[in-house]
Amino acid sequence: MDLAFVLYPRMTALDLVGPYEVLAHQPGVTAHFVAETTEPVVTDAGLVIVPTTTFAALDRADVIVVPGSSDYEGVLAAGVVARWLREVHPKATWTTSVCTGSTLLADAGVLTGRPATTHWAVRELLGRLGAEVRSERVVRDGDVITAAGVSAGIDMALTLVGLIWGDRVAMASQLAIEYDPEPPYDAGSPESAPPEVVAAVLGKV
């Protein structure tokens, strides 16, 4: 089973690494890190990731994982990822996104008229791009699964493992990574965070 993890400049590392750690350890999986070129990609926080193949060379995958970016507007404007997604999505068994990666799926026409989620700060944009916006942490519509902001990529990946390999394997994967969050603050959504914290985050996105 070929998994394509999409790379591009200023992507958010955890959007990719979280799903990768869940999915890449499953049986029969071959992971590909695909980008426009094989030059190292620098994420928005400075982590450097080296692609293993290019958009031109990889024209299909069983599973596609599209991470988001703090520079989502710039990535949308470039159009490179969306062009590749238009080609490969029809051939994939599953197409997924994390955080603002859903805006790239929408720009490629994958989410037109379909329910999808994204980071809470860009829900309005996702709606303008043609999706039916939901606020759930993970939304599945047929062969497309979208996750909300950053850390929700782990939830998305566990959902996908359950669909492909079964619930027992998904539960074992959750236990293996000890995914049992107990955050020290109740500020993980705009509804629970103090208004001044929400305003501060909005000022950065």
The catalytically annotated residue of 31, 88, 99, 111 is 99
| Torsion, Cα of 119, 156, 67, 201 (10° steps) | 20
Our answer to whether residue 99 is catalytic in this structure is: yes
Torsion of CA 139, 19, 6, 10, to 10 degrees: 100
CA dihedral 131, 102, 157, 185 (to 10 degrees): -100
Burial of 180 (0-12, 13-18, 19+ CB in 10 A): exposed
Active-site positions read 99
